[in-house]
Amino acid sequence: MKRKNWKRIVVKVGSALISPNRKGCSSHYLLSIAQFIVKCRAMGTQVVLVSSGSVAAGAHQFPDGERSDITIKKAMAAAGQTEMIATWDRLFDFPSAQILLTHADLRDRERYVSIRDTIFSLLDHNILPIINENDTVTTDKLKVGDNDNLSAMVAAAADADALIICSDVDGLYDKNPHTHDDAILLSSVANIDQSIYAMAGGAAKGGVGTGGMRTKIEAAEKAVSHGIDTYIINGFTELSFNMLLNGKNPGTHFEAHEKPMAENEHWMRHTTRAQGEVIVESEFAPNLSDNAESLTSKEIIDVKGEFSVGDTIIVRKDDGTKLVKARSNYSSCLLNFIANQENEEFASEFEEQTGPIISKKNLANLEKE
């Protein structure tokens, strides 16, 4: 480990640490995390905190509410968010700031850049950014869904050196440690593949959080591809944080890629969400990542979904092979219109005047998936 070289880290804390019993916020587990953050800052490391827990923290104020009712959950989030921020604020002797996000904020390039600028400005003024998904206003179309993946997106936006995800176990095991006594902890993972996801199992069941080990692996995959070392550690024990401060690995270290993706390509691939698909013939196999303008309406078989100019789309072959994820310069309606033109000369002239369907500057290669 090279903790001493960290210039900026993101620490992700889940609902189970914030409100273990859903009876409001508890500082029982948060105190050691807060001390870790204080010590990191004292050593010159900037910290961004991604904190779940608003719904769990506010649940006790709705004793008669149905927790499965989305309206009640939004109200719980609204009530619990202030309590959660106040709890964190009491644990620090320096100022903190609240940033509430939806996926719509992150997948819009202009708003994403604005988020980056805000985080950098807060850090430059020694203010701790505390980030959470805005559960009060988010919908299925707008939400990230879990703060593990949100923390990875934030780590990428913040240009962090390390992402530390606090869990209820010591890290990633080769099998579920809650049900297998012979489960072995993986101290490091150099490559995240399907075998790693198989160890993670499915989503979390029960408890107070929305994620499980799988979402943590997803977050790690996003982060390491941006060159961010990622650690899954046990957030319930102070020893984990003391080990990190001493340059030791207390859990599972997911090793950052030596050649990380370019910032814009990473955002396109891991943060944006495709609103539709453009299907091309299987014989169409140019390297779109280098020659995006080679995609014309002649190669298009079908257009799926409804999207507008500027929305993100997937271009794939009709055999299912994904080629690229890109920003569309055409709406689905217009693309369908020109692709269905029998007069190819008309379509070619139209595209020549209007411009390419996708551009290299707004594209991420998916052929290696």
Contact 48, 160 (CB under 8 A): yes
Contact 103, 308 (CB under 8 A): no
- Residues found in the chain: 369
**What DSSP state is assigned to residue 59?**
G
Query: Is the sign of the CA dihedral 83, 85, 91, 93 positive or negative?
Result: negative
Report CA-CA distances (Å) from 159 to 9, 120, 261: 9, 9, 12
Task: Give the separation between CA 166 and CA 215, rounded to whole angstroms.
Answer: 12
Contact 38, 47 (CB under 8 A): no
Question: Which residue has tokens 């209820």?
Answer: 168
Sequence spans of domains, the chain: 3-266, 274-365
What class, spelled out in words, does domain 274-365 have in CATH?
mainly beta
And the tokens for 160?
């962090």
**What DSSP state is assigned to residue 14?**
-
Residue 52 is which amino acid? S
Task: Give the separation between CA 33 and CA 10, rounded to whole angstroms.
Answer: 12
What is the architecture, at CATH level 2, of domain 3-266?
3-Layer(aba) Sandwich (3.40)
pLDDT by position in tens, the chain (length 369): 555 689 999 999 999 999 888 788 888 999 999 999 999 999 999 999 999 889 889 988 988 766 667 888 899 999 999 999 999 999 999 999 999 999 989 988 999 999 999 999 999 999 999 999 998 887 766 678 789 999 999 999 999 999 999 998 999 999 888 888 899 999 999 999 999 999 987 544 444 444 589 999 999 999 999 999 999 999 999 999 999 999 999 999 999 999 998 888 899 999 998 999 999 988 877 778 788 888 888 889 999 999 999 999 999 998 889 999 999 999 999 999 888 877 777 778 888 888 899 998 889 988 655
